[in-house]
Amino acid sequence: MIFETERLFLREMTPDDLPTLRAILTDDEVMYAYNGAFSEEEVRDWLDRTMLRYRENGFGLWAVVLKETGQMIGQCGLTYQTPLGEKLLEVGYLFLKEYWHWGYAAEAAAVCKEYAFSTLGAEELFAIIRCTNRASIAVAKRLGMFCTEHFVKHYRGVDMPHFLYRVRRNETLEIAYLADHPEHIPTCASWIYGQWGSQSGGTFEGALRKFTAGANKEEIPITFIALHDKKPAGTVSLWATDSTIRDLTPWMAAVFIHPSHRGFKISMALIDRLIDEARRLGKKEIYLSTESAQGLYTKFGWEEIGTHDSPYGKASLMRKSLEE
């Protein structure tokens, strides 16, 4: 046994685990992120490579065993991956379909995260997740991970958009409700007034009123603030309407990162958090307007549905569906 949690054991896999591993890896639904079920040869190769990692690295994907029954129900562990050319330590998890939605993946992954930081001395831990795999994304977020990269993985003849999620040993980023940090309302107002309001006839007092109204958690408008090294670093808001388009709702707006904190992928974490919030509120779609950042939002599944004249020039009108 490698680890024990409240409900699970994690141990090294052996050739005796081949039948359960086969059941996992040959299930089309389980292997959705791999573009379908594995062949028998691929299953055996997976097990061989897993056991080789134990010898070479001292860790790998471990069998996850349900304490109550002694049955292997999945696999979870740590491997080195190179999604963007640099070797990264990743936590991965795959479970038999009948054991989904019981919190087993998060429970097993949490102990792997602790092992990565406390025993291996890792400074960062990653999860490589297909963009549409919301269940795996939810597990990554329960580990305290933030979305930092978008890339296209070429696998089994298919181009698959992926997100890279990351957590640090001493995480320096927090995405919080502005309502929980009202002392930063004037800061957010000054950012947005300086970036946009001063160019469109707005006033600082108007921006201050808007962010004061957005300092709540239960209904639109809602604002999030990024705290980086405990300092205010950026903001994003969910508004009912755009200043020039009144018949579409709701809107993601006021995405801003302070220059001192740019280059840390904070905008991706803020956008990701706002999408979650819109879903929590039961919204089926969300809109935005941008003059120059279409590429960033496309990564999160927004599509351009038109153009319009904004106070800052010609802008793309973009929409994202929040339904399954």
CATH number, domain of 131, equals 3.40.630.30
* Mean of pLDDT values over 310-315: 79
151 plus 189 within the same structural domain: no
Provide the CB-side half-sphere exposure for 1 (13 A, CA). 10
The pLDDT tens digits for 9-62 are 999 999 999 999 999 999 999 998 888 899 999 999 999 999 999 999 999 999
Residue ending a domain, choose from 168, 196, 225: 168
Q: DSSP class of residue 198?
A: G
129 plus 7 within the same structural domain: yes
- Residue count of the chain, please give it: 324
Are the CB atoms for 314 and 307 separated by under 8 Å?
A: yes
* Mean of pLDDT values over 188-216: 89
Rg value, the chain, Cα: 22
Domain residues for 103? Answer: 3-168
Q: Above 70 in pLDDT, residue 1?
A: no
Q: pTM of the entire structure? A: 0.92
Angstrom distances, CA of residue 157 to CA of 22, 41, 150, 209: 22, 18, 19, 52
217 plus 112 within the same structural domain: no
Position 153 scores a pLDDT of 86
d(CA 51, CA 215): 52
13 plus 138 within the same structural domain: yes
163 plus 177 within the same structural domain: no
The pLDDT tens digits for 137-152 are 999 999 999 999 999 9
Q: Which three-class secondary structure state does DSSP give residue 82?
A: coil
Q: Above 90 in pLDDT, residue 250?
A: yes
Q: Above 80 in pLDDT, residue 168?
A: yes
Q: How many domains does the chain have?
A: 2
Q: What is the mean pLDDT of the chain?
A: 93
142 plus 250 within the same structural domain: no
Residue ending a domain, choose from 133, 168, 203: 168
**Quick one: CA dihedral 201, 205, 210, 211, positive or negative?**
positive
pLDDT > 70 fraction of the chain, expressed in percent and rounded: 99
Position 313 scores a pLDDT of 76
Look at residues 136, 44, 140, 123 and name the one whose alpha carbon lies nearest to residue 88. 123
Write out the H or E segment, with its range, that includes residue 144: none
Structure tokens belonging to residue 156: 């089994």
Residue ending a domain, choose from 168, 190, 212: 168
142 plus 191 within the same structural domain: no
51 plus 193 within the same structural domain: no
159 plus 197 within the same structural domain: no
Q: DSSP class of residue 244?
A: S
Position 205 scores a pLDDT of 94
Residue ranges with strand state E in 261-312: 285-290, 303-310
215 plus 77 within the same structural domain: no
Q: Above 80 in pLDDT, residue 201?
A: no
181 plus 161 within the same structural domain: no
Position 197 scores a pLDDT of 80
Look at residues 311, 253, 314 and name the one whose alpha carbon lies nearest to residue 286. 253
121 plus 10 within the same structural domain: yes
d(CA 297, CA 275): 11
The pLDDT tens digits for 82-127 are 999 899 999 999 999 999 999 999 999 999 999 999 999 999 999 9
Q: Above 70 in pLDDT, residue 219?
A: yes
Q: DSSP class of residue 217?
A: S
Position 101 scores a pLDDT of 93
Would you call the peptide bond into 221 cis, given omega within 30 degrees of 0 as the criterion? yes
Position 324 scores a pLDDT of 67
